Structure 1
Amino acid sequence: MMNPVLDQERVQHLVARQSSSKRRALLAAWSRPDRELPLVDLEVTWVRLSTLNHRTKAEQMREIETKGRPDLFSADPMGSEAQAAQLRILKSQPGFDDLKADLRERGQQEPAVATAEGVLVNGNRRSAALRSLYLDNQHAPSRYVRCLVLPADATMDELVDLETELQIARDFREDYSWVNEALLIEELFNREAQNWDRVAARMHKDVPKVRAQYEKLQQLHQLVALSDGTRHHADFDENESAFEELTRHIRTKPKAEANSVRGAYFLGTLTGVNYRDLRHLQRPDAAALVRQELESDPTIAPLLCAIRHDVPNNGGDVLDDALGDAAQEEDLSDILAFFVRSAAKR
């Protein structure tokens, strides 16, 4: 039975396209027994980009925060505002120009996958690149995108599983950032009743690997929360190694040492220190060592004095939750509070 929530006008448009085409093709990753789906050519300006695409989740979170629009991608996902924002995100991702060049030279090699109302489950980047070629570069052959069409009664869980199978498990691409992969793992973990075996099976990875990604994300959640909206998950795509080493080190350490090392790593990451240079801070007195080094530098000492006056009196409240007891003499709460609340991205 057709889902009444769907945009029936768009659904009927696709039904008509399927009737005139009669082509079908196999989608091996589809979870249902009948994996042969209709194959149609759709205008690249007609299909809708998925705002639920996990490949862009961290970037969406940043867009929502910077614009102060919690409903930017959810109020009207197929509307012009959400679609324009999603297109900007896709066009700004690394490798987009290379993808356009490849599509111009070789054309579309594999079909995209769309819902019954023409929302792309797979092939969002390719469709965005084709749209750019057609509209920005007047490349006529890019006017259409070839799509497999899913049944009208496809559920949200089926769509997430399909995306996972197509884009993560069997066809992982470099442009799927570690943050977005970890966000998907977190969603699956919550959906699968926090069962790591089921999450690992969905991701086609070992339990330790998916669990490590999840644990790195929990550290990143804390750092982003400390920033009061000035830093975003997507800002830390290039810092995976730092979060990986931090997570691995503190996993079995006492709370005091974990808090000390966490504060030192957070501060180092925010100030652009290479993760290799942070390794010498994997020690119980990491915070004390950092503060000692900073206070002994005559060029930095005046900044520390300014920081003590600039940090709000309640700044330690949020830091206490992440770093532990901020009343200790030799912690980094005041310095870290200053940097995480600095709007200037380093």
Structure 2
Amino acid sequence: MTYEMKVEPSKVRAEMISTRISASKESETFHEYQNREHKLPVISLPLHVPIYRMANFRTRTAQQSYLRREGKVSAFFQQENEAAQAIQHQILVKFAEEERDRSIASIVGVLKDEKQRQPLLVTSLGVVVNGNRRLAAMRKLYGEDSSQYREFSHVKCMVLPSSISEDEVVEIEVRLQMKRRTELPYNWIDEAIAIRELRDSGKSVKDLAALMNKSKGDIEDAINALAEADLFLSDRRGTPGDYESIESAKELFFDMGASLSAKQGESQELSRRFAWTLIEKRGRGGLPGRVYNFNPMFGKKADEVAERLAERMGVELQAGDGEYGDTQDDDFDINIVGGSEVSYKPLIALFDDPTAREELGDELLEVWDSIVEADKGKKRAQQPLNLIQQANSKLTEVDLTGAAPASLVAIEKQLDAIEGNVARLRNVVLKKRSDSSKLS
């Protein structure tokens, strides 16, 4: 038997909670509200009374997926909507059944063995601020066997003051979830959504870093990665909000955010399409090797990739005309085109043609392979000079003033060996220079 969702009117919940607070003699200390210690009342509520918090950051991706899959409007997940609460329950049960790295038991598994050990954190209206997955797990178990799990007919709840604001509720959720603990963490998209919404609410990057126990760089990287994810889903896929489909591509989106934020105009747009192609290739299992190895393709090597790909595809790159956010300098009458003197519009148009993407993706990887191999050859060709420079540098650093007398014989032998190696290498150099002059 499954748990059947029932949502009491908010007025009924508020009155029940208020009455039980008045009768309660139990309290617990809470430190994550207004940065100071609070004694919050602890009460027992019937299992059906608390309701899930719809704005829970952990469930944003799953909610978006449901809306897309079922064709629901974005306003479906309303706090008091019983149908939405039932869907939220299904989402949370799935999370409650997850294990972490096969070493930490699921919430459902823990509750089976240990029952409820910590109270849920709820508002004065019974909205769960912390403990949504635990509540879902208790409801799942109680629905399966109300006799075996009869202690879950009521749940212990710690109640926040009625004066608390929604912004303060969000801060509490983030503080509790961002602490280092053994719970399942947010996925990267839900965390990035939390960061962006908090930033948009007026919090500075510095404040967010302190609140979320992260560096300012981490905060900015997450915002940039989510921006790139949104562009990919809307402009490339035509499926805005379909975050579940890209959860496994975290590394690529973070690399895109870091690399593309330093570009502009057509150069940025073309680099973005290189990255989009990699994401699609990866999704089809057609991306060989580690993702990290492809970063320069849409980063520092993007211009070289563009030139070689254009030549390979027979595309002529003409002088730029200022599209894609390029700027015009009125004083000098010079067009600045994404840091380049050419326009990448023909290549961009090619990448935007759905019928050409598969072939173009294969060509892009072949171009990249040729660049990587050429770079390896350059490194091999440069290696002898690098090693000789290093050896010379080491010899320059040698100071024999304090050398131990007993070591002088050994030092002399080493110097003899060095002279022999120098003579050998010099002969090789002379021969190669002679052969080179004959060829010319």
Which residue of structure 2 lines up, in the alignment, with residue 157 of structure 1? Answer: 167
Q: State which of 205, 214, 223 in structure 2 corresponds to 1:205.
A: 214
Are residues 1:188 and 2:177 paired? no
The question of whether the paired residues in 2 share the 8 Å contact of 1:54 and 1:181 is answered with yes
Which residue of structure 2 lines up, in the alignment, with residue 269 of structure 1? Answer: 279
The question of whether the paired residues in 1 share the 8 Å contact of 2:31 and 2:37 is answered with no
The question of whether the paired residues in 1 share the 8 Å contact of 2:224 and 2:261 is answered with no
**Aligned to 1:51, what secondary structure does the other structure show?**
coil
Which residue of structure 2 lines up, in the alignment, with residue 28 of structure 1? Answer: 31
Give, as a single letter, the amino acid of the residue that structure 1 aligns with 2:57: H
Give, as a single letter, the amino acid of the residue that structure 2 aligns with 1:279: N
- Map 1:219-258; keep pairs closer than 5 Å: 219-226=228-235, 227-229=237-239, 232-258=242-268
Which residue of structure 2 lines up, in the alignment, with residue 120 of structure 1? Answer: 128
Q: State which of 199, 220, 223 in structure 2 corresponds to 1:214.
A: 223
Q: State which of 305, 317, 328 in structure 1 corresponds to 2:346.
A: 328
Count of aligned pairs between the two proteins: 304
- Map 1:1-346; keep pairs closer than 5 Å: 7-31=10-34, 33=36, 35-66=38-69, 67-74=71-78, 77-93=79-95, 95-96=97-98, 98-138=106-146, 139-169=149-179, 171=181, 173-192=183-202, 195-226=204-235, 227-229=237-239, 232-271=242-281, 272=283, 273=285, 275-276=291-292, 278-279=294-295, 281-282=297-298, 283-284=301-302, 285-286=304-305, 327-329=345-347, 331-335=350-354
The question of whether the paired residues in 1 share the 8 Å contact of 2:95 and 2:133 is answered with no
The question of whether the paired residues in 2 share the 8 Å contact of 1:263 and 1:287 is answered with no
1:173 Cα offset (Å): 4.1
Per-residue CA deviation, residues 302-322 of structure 1 (Å, 9 max, x unaligned), is xxxxxxxxxxxxxxxxxx79x
The question of whether the paired residues in 2 share the 8 Å contact of 1:72 and 1:82 is answered with yes
Q: Report the Cα distance in structure 1 between the residues aligned to 2:355 and 2:167, rounded to whole angstroms.
A: 40
Give, as a single letter, the amino acid of the residue that structure 1 aligns with 2:154: Y
Q: Report the Cα distance in structure 1 between the residues aligned to 2:223 and 2:306, rounded to whole angstroms.
A: 25
Gaps of 5+ in 2: 1-8, 100-105, 314-323, 326-337, 359-440
Q: Report the Cα distance in structure 1 between the residues aligned to 2:169 and 2:177, rounded to whole angstroms.
A: 12
Q: Report the Cα distance in structure 2 between the residues aligned to 1:136 and 1:203, rounded to whole angstroms.
A: 37
Of structures 1 and 2, the larger Rg is shown by 2
The question of whether the paired residues in 1 share the 8 Å contact of 2:351 and 2:357 is answered with no
Give, as a single letter, the amino acid of the residue that structure 1 aligns with 2:352: S
- When the two chains are superposed, the root-mean-square deviation of aligned CA atoms in Å is 3.0
TM-score w.r.t. the length of structure 2 is 0.62
Q: Report the Cα distance in structure 2 between the residues aligned to 1:288 and 1:72, rounded to whole angstroms.
A: 48
**Aligned to 2:34, what secondary structure does the other structure show?**
coil
TM-score w.r.t. the length of structure 1 is 0.78
1:72 Cα offset (Å): 0.5
Q: Report the Cα distance in structure 2 between the residues aligned to 1:287 and 1:173, rounded to whole angstroms.
A: 45
